[in-house]
Amino acid sequence: MVLFSGGQDSTTCLAWALAQADRFDAVDTVAFDYGQRHRIELDCRLAVLRELHRAFPAWAPRLGRDHLIDLTVLKSLGESALTDERTIELQASGLPNTFVPARNLLFLTAAAALAYRNGIAVLVGGMCETDYSGYPDCRDATMRAMQSALSLGLDAPLAIETPLMFLDKAATWSLAWSIGGDTLVALIEEQTHTCYLGERGTRHAWGYGCGHCPACRLRALGHARWQSKRMG
């Protein structure tokens, strides 16, 4: 089961899982509505799924059920720049105010419960501690601790796989290309959504977004570095 927001990273992870027919007979997807400011990602993810079906017919039979879980309790627990109309800035803690405390922990717990009910033993997420905003719930140590806690709490083995954990954004673009070539890269550029502000009015070389929020800057810089390496 892939934690699939419809962004660049989760789409790359979904393609990564679908490309491994020897490991995964079917690949379910799950997304979360937590009152995010960029809720447009929930619409974009459906377009990504449709395009994956169309562009990669060999994968289509293994694309399993898609799930959407209501986690709007996260918004009610406190404001952040991802859930409220606030200027994105650093907090006294050193973390950006786009940090939603325990967001990934809650995502993984909900996904694990759903996976357990459906006989699924592997969760795949796009968490990364290389090119990221410093969120502590994106780190490898956090993922390993969650894997242990969930396996113990469910009394069943549960693996959390994070194929992007130690890749920068340029390497993430490269991984997508190695899996699905120019077709997958074009799909990611055109259909996925990463911008924190939910902006899709401007099309850049790397896709749609405001171009200046932290998510857009990381995506743009990674795309430029990857293209430079390809041409160099």
**So where are the chain's domains?**
2-167
Handedness of CA 97, 102, 108, 109 (dihedral sign): negative
- The secondary structure of 186-222 as a DSSP string is HHHHHH----TT---S-EETTEES-SSSHHHHHHHHH
Rounded Cα distance between 177 and 129, Å, is: 21
The residue assigned the tokens 């060999």 is: 58
- What was the pLDDT predicted at 3? 98
C-alpha–C-alpha distance, residues 137 and 128, integer Å: 10
- 154: DSSP letter: H
Residue 201: exposure state from Cβ atoms within 10 A (0-12, 13-18, ≥19): exposed
**Domain with residues 2-167, CATH architecture:** 3-Layer(aba) Sandwich (3.40)
What lies within 8 Å, CB to CB, of 3 at 6+ separation is: 10, 13, 30, 31, 32, 107, 108, 111, 123, 124, 125, 126
**182-207: per-residue pLDDT in tens?**
999 999 999 999 998 889 999 999 99
**163/174 Cα distance (integer angstroms):** 13
- Has this prediction a pTM greater than 0.95? no
pLDDT value for 127: 94
Look at residue 175 in the predicted model and tell me its pLDDT. Answer: 98
pLDDT (tens digit, 0 to 9) for every residue of the chain, 232 residues total?
A: 999 999 999 999 999 999 999 999 999 999 999 877 677 889 999 999 999 999 999 999 999 999 999 988 776 766 654 555 555 545 555 555 555 677 889 999 999 999 999 999 999 999 999 876 677 888 999 999 999 999 999 999 999 999 999 999 999 999 999 999 999 999 999 999 999 888 999 999 999 999 998 889 999 999 999 999 888 7
Look-up: residue for tokens 């200046």? 212
pLDDT of residue 138: 86
Q: Alpha-carbon distance 197 to 108, whole Å?
A: 24
pLDDT of residue 24: 97
pLDDT value, residue 160: 98
Task: Give the pair of three-digit tokens for residue 144.
Answer: 């390993």
Report CA-CA distances (Å) from 181 to 92, 137, 162, 163, 209.
43, 31, 21, 18, 23
* Alpha-carbon span 223 to 205, nearest angstrom: 8
pLDDT of residue 135: 78
Cα distance between residue 228 and residue 232, in whole Å:
6
Per-residue confidence (pLDDT) for residue 92, from 0 to 100? 53
